Structure 1
């Protein structure tokens, strides 16, 4: 197994001073799978104070739990003393830890067998719990009693599902049974930790697998009750051949692994159950679900502690995803660019295509999306003005010429001028725009 020079240097230094040391956990798992580890963790029999003493550049990042960050060649590595965890009182973290000399005891406290292996060049692979075998079987299995593991840290239930869709492994029968039994413990986990795992599920190669496991285990109704309401929801429309949940999963799978895109795919139809009604022919309709979905997804994303930039991107895409124009005029497309933003407009088409391809065939609207995209590409390449910032006049010009003060009237005039320029870009010169502003201001007063 390949060990980076810096990791080997740390392990060698610890052995030279009479201690054992191994690279451990995910880096061992990924190395055995032929993947490049994102980072390398090291476990050792040396106490934290000794680690600090042996290495010139260290940071006591988790001294209470025995973790010291050792910096070699400007690269940080977490080095943690072998430990066993004390009592878990909140299904999140141990009250305290006890340092031990035996690596087996340290590995025994870990979550899954595939993460409970250690390695160094001296002793080779340390695998007390069958992790290598489970890697070959492609199974996620708890170390020891799964009920105990999940009661120690309920987030491990989400991690099991996340590893399952990242690696395309199955979850061991007893482990999955335990997740179903203990799923309500997820209520004790912070929104931030839940969000991090959901993002990793969304960005995996098999996100739909993850969300089916979330639903099957009972976790979905705890963390995303709004999405649970979509499960099995018959849309009663010839335009769809799947229920809302299965349609949503199909859209996610057909969307590139960019977080804002997959979040938009996840929530694009989230408000359909709230907007649903049937007509006299028992055909289903969801008028306004995109606008309602914009509001509802904002609530969900804030609850999960997403940042404002992500919320703005996702909700814009949700609001606009139904906007597929039959014979779009340039002005209408320019307004669309103005609403959505140059940075998101092609992402909107990506969502629309995934949405169409996840509905019932034939997929006639694909041609409309292709045409819109082609036209918008031409518009962007022509450098025509698309926002009030690109007008040949600004607010100061208008206030000076019309003797106005900042306020609603000024905003209305600038909006009017932009509308005129979107219709005819040749109007975008200062003299013409001042004249148009004066004319509009006169009508406002009248």
Structure 2
């Protein structure tokens, strides 16, 4: 007998059972709440089973909701809290090994308990704390055993998800699965493929954050259930490594992030893998962020850019994860970094898209806006550019050639000093290739002059030029350069040299931004 008045969750629900009994029906507390009470664990849900049918429950209580009335369940609102009340029932042949084709209401509590999955979940308790335990679930609780009610093959053929629930209960409760029940899972594990991924995912997530994850995953692997899950085929070794990882997973985010890590999913395949498990888009985004941050954090500490990208909430979870790898975390340092982070979101920047357009003299947006704002954000986070409106506007104006893919033109007068007197191909003076190289490099250098910071300098690291036509003396040529690629501190330019409509040469030039003082040394 349980002293029920000492358990607040049950005590608050006793008036519901009293009302049902006053109306001439039976009602009991059932399921995980009773089991967890016997295990002295916190109660998450209070479920009630009754001999009253759904329509009879609706007549007893003034406020009800049809949450699963086709399966005999009605939700009752009482004292601002909701309770699910399910009619005693038996079930006919199951459809797709998950849902009964027909539900038959009965007036017998034992008939109702007979259809439940495991003996530890087939115990009922009345409002006085007296237990009804026709399948000796209390003995299995004391022995810490998970045993199917009746014939395990019949239970799993009725509902194949029960096999995953066995693995989940192993992890949550630290129990072992009774041998005949385990043999039935091993024999009938292919039936799990008939179950919706969403339902499997719920059980798998609970398994991962259970206190005995090691035991739950071992059972999951040994019984071959893992073969029926998305992306797990032939990944038994990786799953066992996850099982042995010395960290208790506190949240689904930690669980799924470390799962992806141990499976070694490539970055560009993470979304597809998680979509296969039907995770919500927000969950997928968060796992992707955490996975990316974890891999970097295992090599070095956070910087502003990584913290901004990850967000402090996820970052704190990642910082906890690293302890499982034998590293010492530094939560206080991370929290201090977050306080001094220059911006926490793009809206914190002192310039927006409309203002960028105004600076550049444009009235319409385009891809260029995203490129500019992303570059500004990265520089603010790297602390190479203050988050000051005036300075941001000045910086954008200086870099407009880079941002807008505009052509920078430099006009040069061809003089005698630029010419080679004779070549194998021409018997009259022509513009020398060395002079052309100088023109191209000077043009690119000038284009970058307004871009690099005062303490920086750009130096040429590579140039290639295909010189194909001669130039006329004392005439102007035009050097046209534009940014072809921009990667961190390296800029690659494409160049075209023309005289009138004749192309004299084409080529590429690369310049790198370096610290001026170090370069001069």
Bucket of the pairwise TM-score, normalised by the shorter protein: 0.7 to 0.9
Can you list the C-alpha shifts for 1:212-262, whole angstroms capped at 9, x where unaligned? 2111111111114x3443333xxxxxxxxxxx44432344x5154111111
Distance 2:345 2:78 in 1: 50
After TM superposition, give the deviation of residue 140 of structure 1 in Å. 0.4
Q: Is 1:171–2:177 an aligned residue pair?
A: yes
Equivalent position of 2:250 in the other structure: 257
Unpaired runs of 5+ in structure 2? Answer: 409-521
Partner of 2:354: 396
Aligned to 2:464: none
Comparing 430-439 and 105-114, the one that deviates more: 430-439
2:33 maps to which of 4, 8, 27? 27
C-alpha spacing 1:270/1:55, structure 2 compared with 1 (3 Å): same
Write the mapping of 1:323-334 to structure 2, written as runs, cut at 5 A.
323-324=296-297, 333-334=303-304
Q: Distance in 2 between the 1:17 and 1:327 partners?
A: 67
Let me know the Cα RMSD of the aligned residues: 2.5
Q: Could you tell me how far apart the structure 1 residues matched to 2:79 and 2:133 are?
A: 30
Equivalence for 2:21: 15
The structure with the larger Rg is 2
Change (3 A) 1:50 1:424: closer
The 10-residue stretch of structure 1 (124-133 or 428-437) with the greater mean CA deviation from structure 2: 428-437
Decide whether aligned partners of structure 1 residues 438 and 60 sit closer, same or farther in structure 2, where only a CA change above 3 A counts: closer
Higher relative strand content: 2
1:266 aligned partner: 259
Q: Distance in 2 between matches of 1:316 and 1:16?
A: 55
Q: Would you say 1:295 and 2:301 are equivalent positions?
A: no
Q: Which residue does 2:285 correspond to in 1? A: 312
1:349 to 303, 308, 319: 319
**Aligned equivalents of 2:56 and 2:240: distance in 1?**
54
| SS in structure 2 of the partner of residue 269 of structure 1 | helix
Farther-moved stretch of structure 1 (199-208 vs 3-12)? 3-12
> How many residue pairs end up in the alignment?
398
Q: How does 1:23-172 map to 2 (within 5 A)?
A: 23-121=29-127, 124-172=130-178
- Alpha carbons of structure 1 residues 133 and 326: separation in structure 2 relative to 1, 3 Å: closer
Work out the CA distance in 2 between the residues paired with 1:417 and 1:121. 66
Report the alpha carbon displacement of residue 326 of structure 1 after superposing the two structures with TM.
6.6
Contact kept in structure 1, 2:171 and 2:208, CA below 8 Å: no
- Partners of 2:76 and 2:82 within 8 A in 1: yes
- Which of the residues 195, 200, 207 maps onto 2:213? 207
Which of the numbers 320, 324, 339 marks the counterpart of 1:381? 339
More helix by share: 1
- Greater RCO, 1 or 2 (C-alpha within 8 Å, sep 6+): 1
The answer on whether the counterparts of 1:231 and 1:245 sit within 8 Å (CA) in structure 2 is yes
Mapped contact 1:269–1:293 kept (Cα < 8 A): no
Return the TM-score normalized by structure 2: 0.71
Whether the aligned pair in 2 keeps the contact of 1:25 and 1:41 (CA below 8 Å) is yes
* CA distance in structure 2 between the partners assigned to 1:438 and 1:12 by the alignment: 77
Question: Residue in 2 aligned with 1:231?
Answer: 236
Q: CA deviation at 1:51?
A: 2.2
User: Structure 2: how far apart are the matches of 1:387 and 1:20?
Assistant: 57
Q: Which runs of 5+ in 1 are unaligned?
A: 233-243, 272-291, 358-365
Deviations 1:394-435 (A, max 9, x none): 222221011133222222222333343334366322222212
Aligned mates of 2:299, 2:288 — CA distance in 1: 23
Of stretches 345-354 and 169-178 in structure 1, the one that deviates more from structure 2 is 345-354
Following the alignment from structure 1 to structure 2, what is the Cα–Cα distance between the partners of residues 79 and 327?
Answer: 53
For 2:242, the equivalent position in structure 1 comes to: 248
- The alpha-carbon distance between structure 1 residues 387 and 65, as it changes in their structure 2 partners (threshold 3 A), is closer
2:90 touches 2:112 (CA, 8 Å); kept in 1?
yes
The equivalent of 2:190 in structure 1 is: 184
How far the C-alpha of 1:96 sits from its partner, in A, is: 0.8
Q: Distance in 2 between matches of 1:323 and 1:122?
A: 57
String of CA shifts for 1:97-142, please: whole Å, max 9, x gaps.
2222221111111110011111114682111101010010000000
Contact residue 17 and residue 127 of structure 2 kept, 8 A: no
Contact 1:140 1:160 in 2 (8 A): yes
Contact 2:342 2:380 (C-alpha < 8 Å) held by counterparts? no
